């Protein structure tokens, strides 16, 4: 396996693992590589130091990498929900309860609810989860 440091046209940095250099080239040529933050397919390899046997990662390096990976995963989750679920806005609590109790069509929804509404839904056994925050806009990044 080969690990490449990648970046999109909006300077979002991430990494990808490939079976070979040719596999990366093939996926890039077919437009299969996508930025996990903004979903653009304009992705390129970054300059990367080779992995040297015996080199030690610091705890800070590992924590930063895990945090970046988690942020990428949360961005993908949010994009999936926004693309495939119904946005019911501030009617979320009522709609979630109606779906749970069979008074509304069973479907994926997202929206806003007050902390009190969320507590009441959880107490009543209605399955809810917070949506990850929106990733920062490229203009908001350093």
Answer yes or no: is pLDDT of 7 > 80: yes
| Domains: count for the chain | 2
pLDDT class of 4 with cuts at 50, 70, 90:
confident
Q: Where are the beta strands (DSSP E) in the chain?
A: 2-8, 13-18, 43-45, 86-89, 109-111
pLDDT class of 57 with cuts at 50, 70, 90:
low
d(CA 71, CA 65): 10
Answer yes or no: is pLDDT of 60 > 70: no
Same domain, 14 and 63: yes
What mean pLDDT is predicted for residues 106-123?
Answer: 94
- Domain hosting residue 9, numbered range: 2-79
| Count of all residues that appear for the chain in the document | 142
What's the whole-number average pLDDT of the chain?
85
Q: Is residue 50 part of a domain?
A: yes
Q: Is residue 41 part of a domain?
A: yes
pLDDT of 54: 59
Q: Is 47 or 40 the better-scoring residue by pLDDT?
A: 40
Same domain, 92 and 75: no
Same domain, 119 and 61: no
pLDDT of 126: 95
What mean pLDDT is predicted for residues 70-98?
Answer: 92
pLDDT of 140: 67
* Residues 99 and 109: beta-carbon distance below 8 Å: yes
Same domain, 19 and 56: yes
Same domain, 56 and 115: no
pLDDT class of 38 with cuts at 50, 70, 90:
confident
Same domain, 120 and 98: yes
């Amino acid at each position: 396996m080969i690990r490449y440091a990648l970046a999109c046209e909006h300077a979002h940095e991430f990494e990808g693992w490939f079976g070979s250099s040719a596999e990366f080239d093939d996926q890039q040529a077919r437009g299969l590589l996508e930025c996990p933050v903004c979903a653009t397919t304009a992705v390129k390899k970054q300059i990367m130091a080779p992995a040297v046997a015996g080199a030690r990662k610091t705890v800070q390096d590992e924590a930063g990498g895990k945090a970046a990976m988690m942020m990428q995963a949360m961005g993908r989750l949010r994009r999936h929900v926004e693309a495939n679920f119904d946005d019911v806005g501030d009617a979320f609590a009522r709609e979630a309860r109606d779906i749970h109790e069979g008074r509304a069509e069973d479907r994926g929804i997202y929206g806003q609810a007050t902390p009190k509404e969320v507590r009441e839904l959880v107490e009543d056994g209605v399955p809810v989860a917070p949506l990850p925050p929106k990733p920062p806009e490229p203009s908001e990044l350093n």
